[in-house]
Amino acid sequence: MRDAISEALKTAMKAKDALRVSTLRLVQAALKDRDIANRGAGKEAASDEELLQILAKMVKQREESARVYDEAGRPELAAQERAEIAIISEFQPEQFSEEKIRDVVQAAITDAGAASPRDMGKVMALLKERHAGQMDFSKASGVLKEMLK
């Protein structure tokens, strides 16, 4: 994944695509920050799973910023945030649909043997282990609460 991001950055630099270059540099900086934090904790470089979590967090931050800009009457800034989301999303696996999230959550409930809302932690841990970067875990949490009532 790191190689794909580096290659995309080189291509964007050659094409003089300023927005793409700046966004990809932000992604690389976030990845390096995680690597440095891991080194300080005595761990190895960030795994692909951790990289997917970083990308998901970056997308979520930009979605929130775009919403705030829309509410503040700044559509040009909201459009820029959405353009950055599109660039970052290119490096994420395809996100699960609502129906797929329901299926995956149901399978995780069965595998974890969950029967009540007290078992949510086990199920969420299982989902994060199996499907990092493939779904919005806040949506999955809502579906899980609904299923474990």
Say yes or no: 70 and 119 in one domain: no
C-alpha span between 43 and 24 (Å, rounded): 25
**What is the C-alpha to C-alpha distance for residues 21 and 53, in angstroms, rounded to an integer?**
21
User: Measuring CA to CA, how many Å separate 68 from each of 59, 73, 87, 139?
Assistant: 14, 9, 20, 20
* Tens of pLDDT, residue by residue, the chain (149 residues): 888 999 999 999 999 999 999 999 999 999 999 889 888 888 888 787 788 888 989 999 999 999 999 999 999 999 999 999 999 989 887 778 888 888 998 998 888 888 888 888 888 888 888 887 678 788 888 888 888 87
Return the amino acid letter for 123. V
Q: Are residues 110 and 134 in the same domain?
A: yes
pLDDT of residue 138: 82
pLDDT of residue 63: 94
User: What is the per-residue pLDDT for 18?
Assistant: 95
pTM: 0.70
| Residue 34 domain boundaries | 2-89
Instruction: Please work out, in degrees rounded to the nearest 5, the angle formed at the alpha carbon of residue 22 by the alpha carbons of 93 and 86.
Output: 35
Same domain, 109 and 53: no
Number of domains in the chain: 2
Q: At what angle do helices 98-112 and 137-147 cross, to 10 degrees?
A: 60
**Residue 85 sits in the same domain as residue 107:** no
Q: Token pair of 77, please?
A: 């800034």
Domain boundary among 63, 89, 115: 89
